Amino acid sequence: GRVTPRNGYENFSDESVSFEINRFDGNELKKRFDEVAKEVSLSLFLNGVEIAKLHILPTEFEFLAIGFLFTERLIDLPTDVRKLSFNPNSFSIEVETFQQNPLPSLTEVVRSVTSGCGRGLSFISPAFAAGFPPLFSKKILRAAQIVSLTQKLQTVSDVFKKTGCVHSASLAISGEMAHVSEDIGRHNAVDKAIGWAFRNIWPLPEGAILLSTGRVSTEIVIKAHRGGICFIVSHSAPTYAAVQLADSLGITVIGFARGNRFNVYTHQERVAL
């Protein structure tokens, strides 16, 4: 039969939709209502040129757009942004800048950033990023602080509690979680968190921590480096390529941060009891 929202209609601003499903409980199939995260396609325009379609959770459009443009080196400073506008009819966001950075090589077909857990869209290759200058920091993270922050990140996501279908990302500043962003894609969640900081707390102070529930890939390392973030802490694992890149870029990668445990993969000298 047709999939129909519980209330008969779908709100534009809803993060999730409830509808009737069949659930097998080990003995029989029972009808019940279940909450599922929404996924929408957002067209991103920079100075009149569509550069990407982002498949996202419909939240924090401004932060996502700004974070994506900044981490892809298409804008450099908060003052670069002249105007930002969202069009709910075409589901698009337009960013105008005072100066136009050269656009990356785009195919005739606009690149589409899927919500999947594979490689997200990036105009910056890991090989190119390996030539970036490394970050230096004398900040030390304490084990108890890492445990506390990761446990808090696991509990603050309302959408995850309802759907089990989103990633969370946050920036911890001066030891405190400043803002939490959610998305169906881990890259998008990180871009939203960095975009929030770009609009509210910039530049980031030394010792800022990028917290994530998603796998740490090279793209995540590149985004952290762009923000001058020396610490990445994730509930999940890093890839070996990400570990190699983070090591060369001066970034401490901490993975499998679950319960009272975590693994430190790079720059172990920055983590102490």
Tokens at 11, concatenated: 């709100």
Out of 36, 117, 177, 178, the active site residue is: 117
Q: Are 225 and 251 spatial neighbours (Cβ–Cβ below 8 Å)?
A: yes
Q: Is 117 a catalytic residue?
A: yes
Interatomic CA distance for residues 231 and 245, integer angstroms: 13
Ranges of beta strands (E only) in 38-175 are: 40-46, 49-56, 81-87, 92-97, 112-113, 141-142, 167-173
Task: Tell me which amino acid residue 232 is.
Answer: I
DSSP helix/strand/coil, 63: helix
Interatomic CA distance for residues 182 and 165, integer angstroms: 10
Tokens at 242, concatenated: 């990400």
Tokens at 104, concatenated: 């990356």
Helix H segments across the chain? 61-71, 126-129, 143-155, 158-163, 186-200, 218-226, 240-249
- Return left, alpha or beta for 181; rule: phi > 0 is left, psi -120 to 50 is alpha, else beta: beta
Q: How many CB atoms lie within 10 A of CB 10?
A: 11
Q: What distances in angstroms separate CA 28 from CA 1, 15, 19, 24, one per listed residue?
A: 20, 30, 19, 6
- Return left, alpha or beta for 228; rule: phi > 0 is left, psi -120 to 50 is alpha, else beta: left
Q: Which has the closest alpha carbon to 82: 97, 68, 64?
A: 97
In degrees and rounded to multiples of 5, residue 190 shows phi and psi of: -65, -45
For the annotated catalytic residues, the residue numbers are 117
